[in-house]
A and B are shown apart, each in its own frame.
Chain A
Amino acid sequence: MTTANQPAAYRNDFLKEVEANVEEGHMVKMCMQCGVCAGSCPLGSHWEHSPQKIFMMIRAGKREEVLTSDAMWMCTSCYNCIARCPRKLPITHIMHGLANYAHRLGLAPKGQPTRDFAVMFWNNLTKTGRVNELKLTLGHYFKDGIGAGIKKGLEMKGVGLGLLKAKRLNPMEILGGHKLQDLAGFHAIVAKAREIEDRRRGLSS
């Protein structure tokens, strides 16, 4: 039991919050701090906090530091850590779960490229029920302004033309592209799913 009189150091409110709201969050407490995940991560040196450090920070109640960190956004889902974890923690899933939770709370770092791209991808997908690859790519190229977008586009010209030649890229998609037949039904499904999930997590949408 956690009470207001308890010293801050012993509170595990944040661990409980994570367990309740983050995908696979109940596994966080299984970490034995061996560090094999951190050592196995191919992006390891680019992280602010390694996974086992994040797990310890969760247990230490460092809510603000964890949720505003960009560490879990750096995960590329290579699954090296899951394969090696001696306690079989689903580390990749927890990282994505934490990132998602931080995003939903609005605490995730602004301008974090993975986060921006994820948002862009989601909006692109839910609009028509199909991923419009042309719009997604262009959106990604031009996110930092017109000049940067044109520069990036020219850099990738060869790839684009190749895709066009191989009929893997349809320029007509720019006009809206292919979509689901029952678009209203699809939007209703997505809205309902979000409502259910928010209720489960005690969040308001």
Chain B
Amino acid sequence: MTGNIATNRTVLVVGGGISGMTAALEAAECGKEVILVEKLPTLGGRTARLYRYFPKMCHPTCGLEINLRRIKGNRKVQVLTMTEVVAVQGRRGDYRVSLRIAPRHVNENCTACGDCAKAVDAEIPDPFEYGLKTTKAAYLPHAMAYPQRYVLDPSIIGTADAEKAQAACKVGAIDVAMAEETVDINVGAVIWATGWKPYDAEKIQPYGYGRFKNVITSLEFERLADPAGPTGGKLLRPSDGKEARNIAFIQCAGSRDENHLRHCSRICCMASLKQTQYVREACPDGSGKSTIYYIDIRAIDRFEDFYQNVQKDPSVSFVKSKVARIAEGEDGNLVLHGVNTEGYHRYAADHDLVVLAVGMEPEAKGIRLPEDIVTDSSGFIEGSKDEGMFGAGAAASPLDVNRATQSATAAALRAIQVIHKTAATETAA
């Protein structure tokens, strides 16, 4: 890492999801030096874990591939994975940033052959699959991981498993002695593209997430629908592995709620509308049924036509109601209790799987941001007082992928302006 040459004409991008990659590339393709840091072992963020995008129902792998190609082909972007920002000092045009790089225990010799994974016995909950399945403790984060390099879970370091992995590696890529590093770099502007995290569904006590096996989050449902996911694309419910046929989607699970998240997370309505189409496709015989429980459907912007098409779909029904509570039956089925506010009908509806459309919370809520950063009442990053740091994508506002990339491009432009001003001042001096 000593090869890092960053100056105050460098842009630092924190977070390697779709927003961070976009911001980094936009700045780099304008000729700026960029350092892109990512906490996890791979780029891609939450976008990589989606099965499909709305409204075109295309696969995220496509957009990711384009961005990864751009990164591979651009010498101006330096990617640091497993790296976190620990401190930011200084001001606009002249920041000094401390980075902590966690040991990957696998160096650049790795060819991603997978021999280490075969040799290792220990298994860990697969972080990419939200723990829905386990993976070997020597693993490739996912098929499109960048860098395409294995990683050793810290839990096996110092055990026989680590030695087995090292012995199995034919190219000498495994380095169990690799230690944590701290490096300081100079940068002129910082883009915080730290993204979002799903709201902790266990806090929504009446819905029983964490107590009832067949209550899952919308993100877990994405993994179930993905043919590369833990169930091979079958919508198998967690309690008994039966195929789910009668699925409830509960909107505003955490969002628009003073007891949880104050804001509307914006994407969840479209996400659930999209997921009803997974159900339809998974049951070609027409036996799949989706029911959306909602306060009101917010198909943002131009997506109203997508909503109208789903409304026409006979496999989907809509109940205008915020579900009051969920009870679990003996067969693992779930009974949803509430009142349909269209006509004020009380219901106790039986479903075999419940998907909570969980709200978006800024990931940055869990990390210590520089004091200069200004956030809104929900913790989304608005920028910094000295106007040298910017929020991008879902770190700045609850946004879908499309809008996140727009936001990231805007942040890149503002960072470039800071670099230009710095350069002009330095030349004048």
List, in ascending order, chain B residues with CB within 8 A of A50's CB: 339, 344
Tell me, yes or no, whether A36 is within 8 Å of chain B by CB. Answer: yes
Tell me, yes or no, whether B91 is within 8 Å of chain A by CB. Answer: no
* Contact with B339, one of A32, A39, A87, A88 (Cβ below 8 angstroms): A39
The distance in angstroms between the C-alpha atoms of A52 and B252, with both chains bound, is 18
Tell me, yes or no, whether A77 is within 8 Å of chain B by CB. Answer: no
A35-B339, A39-B324, A39-B339 given as contacts; is B344 within 8 A of A86 (CB)? Answer: no
A-B residue pairs, 7 tightest by C-beta: A39-B324, A39-B338, A34-B322, A86-B257, A38-B339, A35-B341, A36-B322
Q: Can you give 27 A-B contacts (C-beta < 8 A)?
A: A32-B256, A33-B295, A33-B341, A34-B321, A35-B320, A35-B321, A35-B340, A36-B322, A36-B323, A38-B341, A38-B344, A39-B321, A39-B323, A39-B324, A39-B339, A40-B206, A44-B339, A45-B346, A50-B339, A50-B344, A52-B339, A52-B341, A53-B341, A83-B259, A84-B206, A86-B258, A86-B322
In the bound complex, do residue B259 and residue A88 qualify as a contact, i.e. CB atoms below 8 Å apart?
Answer: yes
The range of chain A's interface size is 20 to 34
Tell me, yes or no, whether B325 is within 8 Å of chain A by CB. Answer: yes
The distance in angstroms between the C-alpha atoms of A49 and B341, with both chains bound, is 11
Contact with A along B333-367 (1 / 0, CB 8 A): 00001111100101000000000000000000000
User: Interface of A with B (CB < 8 Å)?
Assistant: 32-36, 38-40, 44-45, 49-50, 52-53, 83-88
The range of chain B's interface size is 20 to 34
List, in ascending order, chain B residues with CB within 8 A of A53's CB: 341, 344
Closest to A44 in B: B346
Query: In the complex, how many angstroms separate the beta carbon of B306 from the nearest chain A beta carbon?
Result: 23
The distance in angstroms between the C-alpha atoms of A32 and B295, with both chains bound, is 8
In the bound complex, do residue A84 and residue B259 qualify as a contact, i.e. CB atoms below 8 Å apart?
Answer: yes
Closest to A81 in B: B324
Query: In the complex, how many angstroms separate the beta carbon of B374 from the nearest chain A beta carbon?
Result: 26
Closest to A36 in B: B322
* Contact with B258, one of A35, A40, A87 (Cβ below 8 angstroms): A87
Closest to B251 in A: A34
Closest to B295 in A: A34
The distance in angstroms between the C-alpha atoms of A190 and B180, with both chains bound, is 73
List, in ascending order, chain B residues with CB within 8 A of A49's CB: 344
Q: A39-B323, A84-B259, A86-B258 provided; 14 other pairs, C-beta below 8 A?
A: A32-B295, A35-B320, A35-B322, A38-B346, A39-B321, A39-B322, A39-B346, A40-B324, A45-B346, A49-B344, A53-B341, A83-B259, A84-B206, A86-B322
Query: In the complex, how many angstroms separate the beta carbon of B272 from the nearest chain A beta carbon?
Result: 16
The distance in angstroms between the C-alpha atoms of A86 and B259, with both chains bound, is 6
Closest to A87 in B: B258
Closest to A45 in B: B346
List, in ascending order, chain B residues with CB within 8 A of A39's CB: 321-325, 337-339, 346
List, in ascending order, chain A residues with CB within 8 A of B325's CB: 39-40
Query: In the complex, how many angstroms separate the beta carbon of A123 from the nearest chain B beta carbon?
Result: 36
307-329 of chain B: CB within 8 A of chain A: 320-325
Contact with A along B293-310 (1 / 0, CB 8 A): 001000000000000000
List, in ascending order, chain B residues with CB within 8 A of A33's CB: 295, 341
Query: In the complex, how many angstroms separate the beta carbon of A92 from the nearest chain B beta carbon?
Result: 16
The distance in angstroms between the C-alpha atoms of A44 and B339, with both chains bound, is 9
Contact with A along B197-239 (1 / 0, CB 8 A): 0000000001000000000000000000000000000000000
List, in ascending order, chain A residues with CB within 8 A of B324's CB: 35-36, 38-40, 84
List, in ascending order, chain B residues with CB within 8 A of A44's CB: 339, 346
Query: In the complex, how many angstroms separate the beta carbon of A181 from the nearest chain B beta carbon?
Result: 47
Query: In the complex, how many angstroms separate the beta carbon of B204 from the nearest chain A beta carbon?
Result: 10
List, in ascending order, chain A residues with CB within 8 A of B256's CB: 32, 86
Query: In the complex, how many angstroms separate the beta carbon of B338 from the nearest chain A beta carbon?
Result: 4
